[in-house]
């Protein structure tokens, strides 16, 4: 199973993102992951990194006259290490406590993208800190009431470079943490890989990995218990079990906005169209229940 953890599960909206807060949040998610492993599942954990890489970018900005700032791809790798380490240690401790003899390994993951992806001429993903004024260092967008923010391309994932290594680890029975923050976007030039400044959506990257490894179940854990129609509006309706045809119809009707539920639904559709059997979308607290069909939103062919 691929289990995709939202970056907002690791640093919740109202939190600052201290070590203690992130440790506590990862600990709560790992409680659930252990329960799932106890049921016999092999697991690849993928995760977002929005809040963490946002803080790293702010650090680069504030200290740029003292310490050379690192580009976004390096910050992505730093965040994969930061979050991967937390999950790796906390999950290993819980596995040991439960007498489960598995290792947990984080794979720094690069994801191949197409340098001609339309996102490069029209970047759409706002990242990092808010600024009071637009600056000329990079393309920016104004987000109402909050200020200016850098935007970077969010290209489609084409291939997970380390998929073979991830597969080997899973076949060994290890728990693998991969594709953190959607993976580090790289392009290929004369046979060489090179990092680019962009952000791949973590749900789409998770789907690509699932597809490449022939994984049949995907669980997306976020900060809502279910997917809804008319979310936050009149006539809001909880979706429990839904088939591919219906979900495509709702997607067309615009129920799932870009940058939040949109990519989860797009990833689910791609997954089900490429051989996936089941996608569960719910919150970490309900993860185990949703596997038993008791809660969450279940998407199937």
177/46 Cα distance (integer angstroms): 6
Which residue's CB atom is positioned nearest to ligand ADP? 6
Per the annotation, the verdict on 278 as an active-site residue is no
Q: Extract the tokens encoding 299.
A: 């998407």
- Would you say 182 and 5 are in contact if contact means Cβ atoms under 8 Å apart? no
**Strands 227-229, 147-152: pairing kind:** unpaired
Least Å distance between CB 284 and ligand ADP? Answer: 10
- The binding track of 214-233 with respect to ligand ADP, each residue x by CB under 6 A or -, is --------xxx--xx--x--
Going by the DSSP 8-state scheme, the letter that residue 7 receives in this structure is H
- Would you say 103 and 203 are in contact if contact means Cβ atoms under 8 Å apart? no
2 near ligand ADP, rule: CB under 6 A: no
179 near ligand ADP, rule: CB under 6 A: no
260 near ligand ADP, rule: CB under 6 A: yes
Of the listed 202, 208, 276, 296, which one is catalytic?
Answer: 202
CB contact set of 234 (below 8 Å; sequence gap of 6+): none
Per the annotation, the verdict on 202 as an active-site residue is yes
124 near ligand ADP, rule: CB under 6 A: no
Give the position of tokens 């990242």.
127
Per the annotation, the verdict on 245 as an active-site residue is no
Work out whether the CA dihedral 71, 73, 79, 82 comes out positive or negative. Answer: negative
Report the residue from 257, 258, 273, 275 that binds ligand ADP according to the rule CB under 6 A: 257
Report the residue from 180, 256, 271, 288 that binds ligand ADP according to the rule CB under 6 A: 256
Q: Which residues pair with 150 in a beta bridge?
A: 127, 140
Residues assigned a catalytic role:
7-8, 125, 202, 264
Binding site for ligand ADP (CB under 6 A): 6-8, 48, 222-224, 227-228, 231, 255-257, 260-261
């Amino acid at each position: 199973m691929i289990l995709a953890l939202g970056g907002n599960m690791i640093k919740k909206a109202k939190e600052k993102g201290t070590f203690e807060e992130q440790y506590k949040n990862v600990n709560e998610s790992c409680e659930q992951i252990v329960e799932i492993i106890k049921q016999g599942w092999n697991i690849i954990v993928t995760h977002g990194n929005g809040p963490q890489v946002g803080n790293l970018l702010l650090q680069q900005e504030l200290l740029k006259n003292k310490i050379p700032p690192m580009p976004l791809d390096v910050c992505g790798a730093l965040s994969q290490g930061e979050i991967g380490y937390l999950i790796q240690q906390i999950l290993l401790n819980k596995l040991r406590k439960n007498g489960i003899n598995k290792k947990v390994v984080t794979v720094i993951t690069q994801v191949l993208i197409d340098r001609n992806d339309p996102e490069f001429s029209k970047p759409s993903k706002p990242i990092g800190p808010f600024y009071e004024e637009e600056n000329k260092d990079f393309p920016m967008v104004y987000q109402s009431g909050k200020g200016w923010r850098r935007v970077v391309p969010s290209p489609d994932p084409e291939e997970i470079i380390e998929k073979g290594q991830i597969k080997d680890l899973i076949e060994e029975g290890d728990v693998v943490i991969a594709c953190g923050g959607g993976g580090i976007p790289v392009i290929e030039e004369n046979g060489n890989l090179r990092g680019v400044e962009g952000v791949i959506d973590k749900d789409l990257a998770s789907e690509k990995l699932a597809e490449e490894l022939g994984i049949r179940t995907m669980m997306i854990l976020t900060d809502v218990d279910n997917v809804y129609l008319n979310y936050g509006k009149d006539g809001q309706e909880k979706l429990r079990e839904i088939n591919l045809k219906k979900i495509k119809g709702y997607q067309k009707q615009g129920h799932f906005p870009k940058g939040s539920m949109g990519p989860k639904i797009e990833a689910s559709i791609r997954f089900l169209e490429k051989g996936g059997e089941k996608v569960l979308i719910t919150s970490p607290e309900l993860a185990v229940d949703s596997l038993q069909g008791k809660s969450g939103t279940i998407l199937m062919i």
